[in-house]
Amino acid sequence: MITSLDVADKKILNLIQKDAALPHQDIAAQTGVSTTSVWRRIKNLEEVGVIKGQVALLDPKKIGMQVCALISLRLVRHGEDTRVEFEDFIASRPEVMECYAVVGNYDYMLVVMVPTIEDYEVFLSRHLLSHALVASSNSSFTLRRVKYTTAHSLNM
């Protein structure tokens, strides 16, 4: 379900996507609504699920995550039970930062981050490829991050 957002909601969301710790007074000053209205709007956006949570974004390199791999993979079979089992497995793996079900030549695309190539080899051989539902995979490694954002562009 798409939630109806007015101009003030969009302004608030654009601001807090850049800095979730921005004080309500600053948001109010930049959006032209009262501090109380900012607080109420943010609470409402949380309640309806537009705002899913607030997090700190870490620099992977500064915490030792030197290797980023993009993995395309195929499953051995398809079905609801297979999907649930595989997605539960992926959800349990801390190396997997993102997972997408896709159409085309592969069933899933993963973004995996680990400290070293040796850690990647352990993840790939001992966990991913040894899983009974994984038929095959193809890995690509990133050279550098060109663009990264978690912010959605909300046009007003």
62-101: per-residue pLDDT in tens? Answer: 999 999 999 999 999 999 999 999 999 999 999 999 999 9
45/143 Cα distance (integer angstroms): 37
Half-sphere exposure of 108 (CA within 13 A, CB side): 27
Is the pTM here over 0.85, yes or no? yes
Check which CATH number belongs to the domain holding 17 and give it: 1.10.10.10
Question: Does the residue 18 lie in any domain?
Answer: yes
Residue 125 shares a structural domain with residue 69: yes
Question: Does the residue 12 lie in any domain?
Answer: yes
Q: Give the pLDDT of residue 93.
A: 98
Domain coverage including residue 29: 7-47
State yes or no: pLDDT of 1 exceeds 70. no
Can you tell me the mean pLDDT for 125-129? 97
Instruction: Say whether 105 sits in a helix, a strand or coil.
Output: coil
Residue pair 97/111 in contact by the 8 Å Cβ criterion: yes
**Residue range 31-58, pLDDT digits in tens:** 999 999 999 999 999 999 999 999 999 9
Q: Give the pLDDT of residue 96.
A: 98
State yes or no: pLDDT of 3 exceeds 90. no
Residue 40 shares a structural domain with residue 87: no
106/138 Cα distance (integer angstroms): 9
Residue type, 18: K
Q: Give the pLDDT of residue 2.
A: 73
Burial of 38 (0-12, 13-18, 19+ CB in 10 A): buried
Question: Does the residue 146 lie in any domain?
Answer: no
Question: Does the residue 74 lie in any domain?
Answer: yes
Residue pair 141/68 in contact by the 8 Å Cβ criterion: yes
Domain count, the chain: 2
109/51 Cα distance (integer angstroms): 25
Residue 137 shares a structural domain with residue 86: yes
